[in-house]
Amino acid sequence: MTTTKEKLVLVGNGMAGINTIEQILKLAPSRYDITVFGGEPYPNYNRIMLSYVLEGSKTLDDIILNGWSWYQENNITLHTGTNVTRIDTAAKVVMTDSGSTVPYDVLIIATGSNPIMLPIPGKDKEGVIGFRDIADCSIMLAASRQYKKAAVIGGGLLGLEAAKGLVNLGMEATVVHLMPELMERQLDPVASAMLKAELERQGLKFLMEKGTSELIGGERVEGLRFTDGTELEADLVVMAVGIRPNTAVVEGSGIEVNRGIVVDDYMRTSAPGVYAVGECNEHRGVCYGLVAPLFEQGQILAKHITGTATLPYEGSIMSTKLKISGVDVFSAGKFMDSPELTVIRKQDEWKNIYKKLMLQDGKIVGGVLFGDVMDSAAIQQWIRTGATMTEELYAEFMGTAAAGSQSPAERIAAMPNEEIVCGCNGVSKGAIISAIQDQGLTTIDEIKACTGAGRSCGGCIPTVGGILEYVLGDKYANTAVKTGICGCTTMSRDEIVAAIREKRLTTIREVMHVLEWKNTEGCSKCRPAINYYLGMAWPQEHEDEKDSRFVNERLNANIQKDGTYTVIPRMYGGVTTPEELRRIAEVAVKFDVKMVKVTGGQRLDLVGVKKEDLPDVWSALDMPSGYGYAKALRTVKTCVGSLYCRFGTQDSVNMGIQLERMFERLDMPAKLKMAVNGCPRNCAESCTKDIGFVGNDGGWEIYVGGNGGIKPRIADLLCKVKTDEELKEVTGAFLQYYRENAKYLERTSDWVERVGLQQIVTAVVEDEKSRRELNERITIALAQVKEPWSEVIADKEIREHVYGNLT
């Protein structure tokens, strides 16, 4: 006998609604025939990650939570780009703007909220937008390519994230705020002032206590006029002054609405069979705009409509975490001083840390953290359980806990299993523990992949790590020893890079502080590695920390056993000019160089230069460094190719010069060498280079992963290409893929063997989208490292010397 499934319709394809569906599928996977309507043309994505899309560190694909295939696998009918316009609660049907009518047995409304647009003259001009969805991001990205000055009205969480994203896009962004403090609804004046100072250091500008009376300009906005008569130039204005529940869908339906759609403790509206979850609803007079309460609502709703026992929803404790590069801010519960509250406060201006707890009648009712948010989970638990302040808790919070006080493991053990650890994705402590035990997980990355915890803003990663350690016990320590990059940390290369990206860490100090380095100063192994990872992740933001580089890199020369140095000027493709040779000879004589050596990379090495002479030697040479000391492109070896050789089929000299000029000075995980052969006779020894090129009548063969050093390895054929442009495109993609995925100091020969050639071929050759995006990222990185001396030898001069009068 066939049982007809109940029809469940979800209006809204956002985080709150789809999270509810996910919970329903876990509890009763076969109960409902599910239809989802979404107004945007995308599957479910992580709205809180829009600031990362705006700044360019993530793409839309990166923030998709449930891809197209997820809907198909769960037999969900998805209508994107479709809005429900009317609900007939008597007939139990919904009607859409496409003209269709869909019946329901259960209806969940999750339409979210709309940005508030200030009702001021000029608000309808071109270039005036909110910041709420992918379309808004697209407008801002397009504006950043054409305009330079932006204003963000609103100094709350969303406004600050938008402003930082615009700064990262190269715009001059000014935050205009009506109040005297930023984030005044979440932070006290001390934390707000510290936040403002830090964001100013990162390039944001602020106009505080400014009311906007008018947006000026023609068809497109050109500036803001304030109530005090002053003005600010702006080509783009982002309004981030708040949100309003989107209740348009229930108009005329008879469903009760106040500020939001009114619901009870089980998310039921006033209409039978109709529920509302997320930012569109109003529960006990409160409309929530943060993701954690929405997921709590969704869990209770899912249990209720599947017949699973559940406690009622009684409201959420509001907490906030800021997700801006280099800034860790947390706030929960009550945060402003008042006569009825007792305040416990600690401020360390040296380390830029601020901690504050609020007590009422001896119980913890709120807290603020700046700079160090490790106690955020504990504070939320204390507030939720109404914990009474004790000497032990005081010592723990103030960092004066003695032996015998509650350990991190004990704190994890005290957390209830239903407590939400990852607010972004609604993952509880119990869900993480179950995944670890059932799936045999041993790393944070595995937990991310399995549960979603930590895959968004990354703020919960320390707690996730604590749960992992708590569950694994001694096994955790053994795993940590194997994966840590050095003795200062238990974190692997992949975990560190993921945290750098997700938490927007931009300095070595931030990495070591946020990721809790055992040795707070680091060591000679991890400091250079972190410096590289930061530069790789944030080429436009990270300021190279010279003190963390090896001595050879700091001095632009290789130290020898007698304390002198070798200087290697760059000779592109092994080609030089008489003028260069004369300068090299004059420098060698002037500074009493002990030896002039022809290197295996077709260059001249000045051996025996005194340390104190290094600056003057480089100045006199007036040539770019050959980077014989660096974790970068060292040399591109060439044969004479088709220019002179009777066997040559391709112009290897010119190609070698182009490649060397394209990729010089760019930091790599390890030293890197190239070679270009004009024919298969291999005179330039392409088969033992990190990247080798072999010319033939039909184009080029590209080889990767070769090594002629301590561990010799013959290179693997990556692909064949027909044109010079294809060669350069594949090379750029390969280099960026290597930069982003290799361990620090891992040569391409070891890396290719570790990850497998096919994975590289897929990302660099076969997947055109991936290849294009890799080249876009390496172009951004290259734009940051070019220096005037790299242009000393003009292309025309090289070509005239090499080609002479040949055509």
Confirm if 712 and 697 have CB atoms less than 8 A apart: no
Q: What is the tens place of the pLDDT at every residue in 335-392? A: 999 999 999 999 988 778 899 999 999 999 999 999 887 788 778 878 888 899 988 8
Residues of the chain with pLDDT under 70: 1-3, 56-57, 322-326, 400-410, 423-426, 455-459, 476-484, 551, 561, 710, 786-807
CA atoms within 13 A on the CB side of 547: 6
CB-based burial label for 33 (10 Å; 0-12, 13-18, 19+): middle
pLDDT at 477: 55
Domains of the chain: 6-112+245-305 (3.50.50.60), 128-241 (3.50.50.60), 371-537 (no CATH), 551-621 (3.90.480.10), 633-800 (3.30.413.10)
Shortest CA distance to 674 belongs to which of 683, 687, 666, 665? Answer: 687
Residues 79-110 pLDDT 10s? 999 999 999 999 999 999 999 999 999 999 99
| Of residues 468, 458, 446, the one with CA closest to residue 422 | 458
Which DSSP category does 401 fall into?
Answer: P
- Alpha carbon distance 660, 273 (integer Å): 68
Q: What's the pLDDT score for residue 644? A: 83
User: What is Dmax (Cα atoms) for the chain?
Assistant: 99
| Structure confidence at residue 420 (pLDDT) | 73
Start-to-end CA distance of the chain, whole Å, equals 84
SS3 175: strand
**CA atoms of 233 and 225, how far apart (whole Å):** 9
Phi, psi of 286 (to 5 degrees): -115, 135
Cα–Cα distance between 420 and 287 in angstroms, integer? 20
